[in-house]
Structure 1
Amino acid sequence: MEEFNVKNFLFSSSATVYSTSKYLPLDEKHPCIGDAITNPYDTIIAQPEWNIILLRYFNPVGAHKTGLIGENPIGKPNNLMSYIAQVAVGRLPYVSIFGTDYDTPDGTSVRDYIHVVHVAIGHIAAMKQFEMNCGLKIYNLGTGKECSRRAGNLATVYADPTLAAQELGWTAQRNLDEMCERRKS
């Protein structure tokens, strides 16, 4: 990296780094799993000329109208939206929705879904921060809206995307119904 003078890093992460919810919505300061073990602040202190941006996605779903980005899982889908899509096109026979044991109104987990196009737009907005020598920045990419499981899920996880809106000028534009639609534009 030194040879090519690479000083800017954009890391795609996910909300799965967060530990059990201490408060909601989850903001960028929420405790992470293994926070005491690894911390990117050490890298910034050791290399102050570096800029590192961590984008934490909350359940990306959907596809671009061209089909070039989006969900086409190989093997077993990893989330409910992928499963539904696979059943809709006949690749899987049915959708099973599990559980009523979460501490939520209906007993199922609560999620924040974001469209893949908005994740891509969030990347572009984040890269502009490199021009300002941002140091280390962490942004949640989510809608900030709860949607009501899958085994091993935390009961409730949804983003506080305020920092991304304030510093990147970025907000997700589609609600869950719109994410499920096949868009022509």
Structure 2
Amino acid sequence: MNPIKIFMATLFSKSNPTKEIEESSIYDISILGLNGKPIQLSNYKGKYILFVNVASKCGFTPQYKDLQKLYDANNDNLVIVGVPCNQFGKQEPGNANEIESFCEVNYGVTFPITEKIDVKGNNQHPLYQWLTQKQKNGIKNSKIKWNFQKYLIGPNGEFIDYYFSMTSPTSSKITKHLK
């Protein structure tokens, strides 16, 4: 946390001790890959990270192609992390092996794919708590509307913005940040 935020948090908490800033680092969050091994988000320091909640049986599933294209064109400064989720229309029913096979066979996906998680609700994974809650990311609140919603994180772990499913991964709304 930068010194100004610490100072402001100190002032704020003294004037209203019931409200505290809980901002944390994206790099402190643990998540497993499809293979069951931890994905260390801290390994991506210095790169942009685009998190996308993905599903194999969704109308937006062809975005895997553009996600891979974006990853291939920018993998020196961008990591895409696919996050399978079955909360929207039960469109990601597969197990880890089925998801991995689907992504590789149909779209040649080489970017990291996490374990299947909940991105909303009572069992929301800490990653999506950070992505969707201003008190954690320090920038803004959001709600996950559907599969293939995207969240862009900057090279220093700062929240940049989120993009609804209809936004193509190769849209200038996203790529303008990667230059």
For the superposition of Structure 1 and Structure 2, which TM-score range results when normalised by the shorter chain?
under 0.3
> Which structure carries more helix by proportion?
2
Compute the TM-score of the two structures, normalised by the length of structure 2.
0.26
